[in-house]
């Protein structure tokens, strides 16, 4: 038995805050070994999924998220734009696909989508799918009807982050509640769309908030398929512009704990990589991160140049995952276990 003490509910582990905290607090080498062991049970450790982001509607957002460059309530100097035309989105998506991205994530700075925007959104989903990529959208809050429309259009993933713990939430965002975030995740799940949900480190939260955020995610009716872990990009003009930087080892612990608690999920090393060394990113991959955003821009802020990412992948012997490659099936898992001398305890 690995070092954790989750309650077992049928086949599903229900995580207590105490068990999750015990994982997070372990000596780093024990935590990393456990995370890498779990990672190898479910994934090829040398494959990383590549997602590409496009901001399809930038800035002017009515919400007050204190980290965000796109809130109309902060003066970050960003100019707001309207929803992008479908043909332009598809041209960008084609370029991303030709450069190796397997998932295309489209983000809009909305509290929630308006009915008049839905036909354009649906056309984007259909067009990107026709290019052979997985589709992901992040458009703010959704109700059951909106979720059903997106599912009908063929949307694969919906990104909606809980961002931090329930206890810390109102220190970061006041224009919506943590419970509303969970409601959207449930509407998306009920519609049959895969859920992508994670959060940010560096919002002034403590370790317990980090642990509690992971407990909420892992205990959802089904854990998210993708879990983005962002490191705050401090944005001038936002309330968090001078937030204290996150300790890199603490960030690695977060990735490792997420990997152990959500063994089947893609854990995405998301925003903040331009401020991370190669060594820190390598530790994150070792801790079980197996997805990144590629391309030199996230939504509004910088991401590493593609060339420098490919150099890093070459140095580490990492390979991009191919489109629609997910957790290995049982045969693949058995082969991984049989072949791998690094995981003797699992034989």
- State the residues that interact with ligand SF4 by CB under 6 A: 61, 63, 65, 68, 70-71, 109, 140
SS3 113: coil
Go through 15-46 and write b for each residue having 16 or more CB atoms within 10 A of its CB, e for each that does not.
Answer: beeebbbebbebeeeebbbbbbbbbbebbbbe
Annotated binding-site residue? 347? no
Backbone angles phi, psi at 298, to 5 degrees: -85, -110
CA atoms within 13 A on the CB side of 297: 10
Residues 207-226 that bind ligand SAM (CB under 6 A): none
In the chain, the largest separation of any two C-alpha atoms, in whole Å, equals: 57
Residue 65 assigned as binding residue: yes
Q: Is 284 a catalytic residue?
A: no
Residues numbered 16 to 55 that lie near ligand DTB (CB under 6 A) are: 53
Instruction: Tell me which of 196, 210, 253, 273 is the catalytic residue.
Output: 196
Name which of ligand SF4, ligand SAM, ligand DTB, none residue 232 binds, using a CB cut-off of 5 to 8 Å depending on partner kind: ligand SAM
Question: If binding is defined by CB under 6 A, does position 67 make contact with ligand SAM?
Answer: yes
Extended strands (E) in 197-333: 199-201, 226-231, 266-269, 291-294, 319-320
The answer to whether residue 173 forms part of the interface with ligand SAM (CB under 6 A) is no
Question: Comparing C-alpha atoms, which of 48, 117, 115 is closest to residue 293?
Answer: 48
Stretch that binds ligand SAM, among 33-41, 97-105, 145-153, 156-164 (CB under 6 A): 156-164
**Is residue 136 annotated as a catalytic residue, yes or no?**
yes
**Three-class DSSP labels, 309-335:** HHHHHHHHCCEECCCCCCCCCHHHHHH
Active site residue 68: yes
CB closer to ligand SAM, 38 vs 54: 54
Candidates 196, 229, 235, 269: give the one binding ligand SAM (CB under 6 A): 235
Quote the tokens at residue 203. Answer: 């919002």
Q: Among residue numbers 296 through 315, which ones bind ligand DTB (CB under 6 A)?
A: 298-301
Among the residue ranges 14-22, 145-153, 158-166, 241-249, the one whose residues contact ligand SAM (CB under 6 A): 158-166
Question: CA 72 → CA 64, 69, 109, 220, 286, distances in Å?
Answer: 8, 8, 10, 31, 38
Tell whether 268 is in a known binding site. yes
Q: Which does 71 bind (CB under 5 to 8 A by kind): ligand SF4, ligand DTB, ligand SAM, none?
A: ligand SF4
Q: In the complex, which residues of this chain contact ligand DTB (CB under 6 A)?
A: 53, 69, 105, 107, 138, 159, 161, 198, 228, 230, 233, 270-271, 298-301
Contacting positions for ligand SAM (CB under 6 A): 67-68, 70, 107, 109-110, 138, 140, 160-161, 163, 200, 230, 232-233, 235, 271, 299
């Amino acid at each position: 038995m690995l070092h954790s003490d989750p309650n077992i509910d049928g086949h599903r582990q229900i995580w207590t805050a105490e068990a999750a905290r015990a994982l997070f607090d372990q000596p780093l080498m024990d935590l990393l070994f456990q995370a890498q062991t779990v990672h190898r049970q479910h994934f090829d450790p040398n494959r990383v999924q590549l997602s590409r982001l496009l901001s399809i509607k930038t800035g002017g957002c009515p919400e007050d998220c204190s980290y965000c460059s796109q809130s109309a309530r902060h003066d970050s100097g960003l100019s707001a734009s309207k929803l992008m035309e479908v043909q332009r989105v598809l041209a960008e998506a084609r370029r991303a696909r030709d450069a190796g991205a397997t998932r295309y994530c489209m983000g809009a700075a909305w509290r929630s989508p308006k009915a008049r925007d839905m036909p354009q959104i649906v056309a984007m989903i259909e067009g990107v799918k026709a290019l052979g990529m997985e589709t992901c959208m992040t458009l703010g809050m959704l109700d059951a009807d909106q979720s059903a429309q997106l599912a009908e259009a063929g949307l694969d993933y919906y990104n909606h982050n809980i961002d931090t713990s329930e206890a810390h939430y109102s220190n970061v965002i006041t224009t919506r509640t943590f419970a509303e975030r969970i409601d959207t995740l449930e509407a998306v799940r009920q519609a049959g769309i895969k859920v992508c949900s994670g959060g940010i480190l560096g919002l002034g939260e403590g370790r317990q908030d980090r642990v509690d955020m992971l407990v909420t995610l892992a205990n959802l009716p089904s854990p998210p398929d993708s879990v983005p872990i962002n490191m705050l990009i401090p944005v001038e003009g936002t309330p968090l512009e001078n937030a204290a930087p996150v300790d890199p080892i603490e960030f690695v612990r977060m990735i490792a704990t997420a990997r152990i608690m959500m063994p089947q999920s893609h854990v995405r090393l998301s925003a903040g990589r331009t401020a991370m060394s190669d060594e820190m990113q390598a530790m994150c991959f070792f801790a079980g991160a197996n997805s990144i955003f590629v391309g030199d821009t996230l939504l509004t802020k910088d991401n590493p140049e593609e060339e420098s990412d490919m150099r890093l992948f070459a140095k580490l012997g990492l390979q991009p995952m191919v489109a629609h490659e997910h957790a290995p099936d049982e045969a693949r898992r058995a082969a991984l276990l049989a072949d791998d001398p690094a995981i003797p305890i699992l034989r």
